[in-house]
Amino acid sequence: MSAIHTWACFLLWISFSTQDKTPDVTVRCLVSEECVLPCSFQPGSEETVEWFRQGVVVYKFERDDDDDDDEEKQEEEDSDSSEEHSDRQQLSGRASVFPHLISRGNATLILRGSGLKDRGTYRCHVRTSNGEHNAKVILKMEAPIQALSLELSRLSGYEEMKCTVRNVFPAPRVTWATEPPTFEALRPVTRMLADKQGLYTADSRLRLISGQPNLIYICKVTTPYGSPTWTASLRETEIRGAEGRDLTIPCSAPSYLNNPSLEWSFFNGKDVSHILTYDSRSGQSVSTPSWHDHVELDSYGVPFGDGSLRLMDPKHSEHTGSYTCMFSMPHNTHTERTDVTIDSPVDQRSTSEESSHWWVVGLVIAGLVLALAGMLAYLKVKGRSGRKPRNDPERVTELHLVKESTADSPLNESSPLNVGGTNGQSGP
């Protein structure tokens, strides 16, 4: 019986100790914004609310039944430890509850202007005429990504892509990719710097791959708390055109963008001017009046990733510069920057004259080569004619005459040359 009584008492103690216990709550708040730490309990009377952080009281609220005005009373005892006093000072003026909700069983703590120093484990302890209540809240702070920049830099003595994100917490993770993919290993250099508040700035740099000028470089940034991944990509090209002749400036979105918006802009070395904007929701494009007669966009191709711009009747002085095409979606951007050179008529004539000059030079060189070949052929023929070959006709004729004169000679019959004329047999 004693064993059964002991187990019954133990189980009864467990039930009383856990009947008012609520599961831990994890709250994620944004830096510099208002943060809400929930705490609800069974309402009663003579409530006393205390909020602890890491075991130290950081906020206290007391109210008696005779307090008709529901005024908040926050006391700081002289006997408080220095750590407790420091934590209270940290939340002083920023932490509060709703006094009129206490009687309804709501002791939620409102924390204004929250920062990274506010992270930690909080405990809500409430005492009422009905008993006590405890609730634990784990507060995590986050400074999400607000913007991501990607640009081409030449400050290091070579061309490299620079990907930058600022004022982020926790420390982000930066990865690189290219489109189309390359077999060459990407070796970026990434630096993480924290400011006085503990917010991180990530600076990641990737040297351009040689021999592949049309690659799209993609920078991806993620944070540990599961916030959306931010992506920025960039491609830089250059083309030439002739004044007065229509020119198409290419721009295509990478495969990870689906139905993005589009914006074109122009930089002439001094000022940036807006050309046009395409809205993916309406499917319409609107151009700036000053560019209306000089540009044309195929709105039907943009949803499929083709944002190429047709430049009509371009002028050297007005339309030579850098054209920027930017596709955008929430947390994703793709930029293509094209340096366009419009050759003026003078430049075209100079180019034509230069081409004609090279044609003349080419013809002169070809003539010299032919003359040299002809001279060599002539010298070769002349050298052959100076030597008499073995079967020279004059020599053959001379030998023929000598043979005839010998045959007509009276000594021919007794000549030893005729001895073997009958196969060594004497005549009859």
Model pLDDT, residue 193: 96
pLDDT computed for residue 157 by the predictor: 79
Q: How many CB atoms lie within 10 A of CB 31?
A: 20
- pLDDT of the residue at 402: 45
Question: In this predicted model, what pLDDT tens digit does every residue of 295-329 receive, in sequence order?
Answer: 999 888 998 889 999 999 999 989 999 999 999 99
How many angstroms separate the CA atoms of 81 and 59, rounded?
14
Report if residue 239 sits inside a domain.
yes
Residues 34 and 73 in one domain: yes
Low-confidence ranges of the chain (pLDDT < 70): 1-22, 64-90, 346-360, 383-428
Domain match, 212 and 308 both: no
Q: Does residue 124 share a domain with residue 74?
A: yes
How many domains is the chain partitioned into structurally? 3
Indicate whether 212 and 271 sit together in one domain: no
* Residues 248 and 258 both lie in one domain: yes
Phi-psi region at 142: left, alpha or beta (left = phi > 0; alpha = psi -120 to 50): beta
Last residue of a domain, one of 173, 208, 228: 228
- Tokens at 387, concatenated: 């030597």
Looking at 103, 121, 142, the residue that finishes a domain is 142
Pair (49, 148) in one structural domain? no
Q: What's the CATH number where 194 sits? A: 2.60.40.10
Residue (of 89, 47, 95) closest to 71 by Cα position: 47
Q: Has residue 379 been placed in a domain?
A: no
Q: What is the pTM of this model?
A: 0.68
Where is the domain boundary, 228, 259, 282?
228
Residues 53, 164, single domain; the answer is no
Cis peptide preceding 170, ω within 30 of 0: yes
Task: Compute the radius of gyration of the chain from its Cα atoms.
Answer: 48
* Residue 362 in domain: no
Which residue range is the domain that position 96 belongs to? 17-142
- Give the other-Cβ count within 10 Å of 339's Cβ: 14
Structural domain includes residue 421? no
Q: Is residue 92 part of a domain?
A: yes
Residue 416 phi, psi dihedral angles, 5° rounding: -65, -15
DSSP assignment letter at 106: B
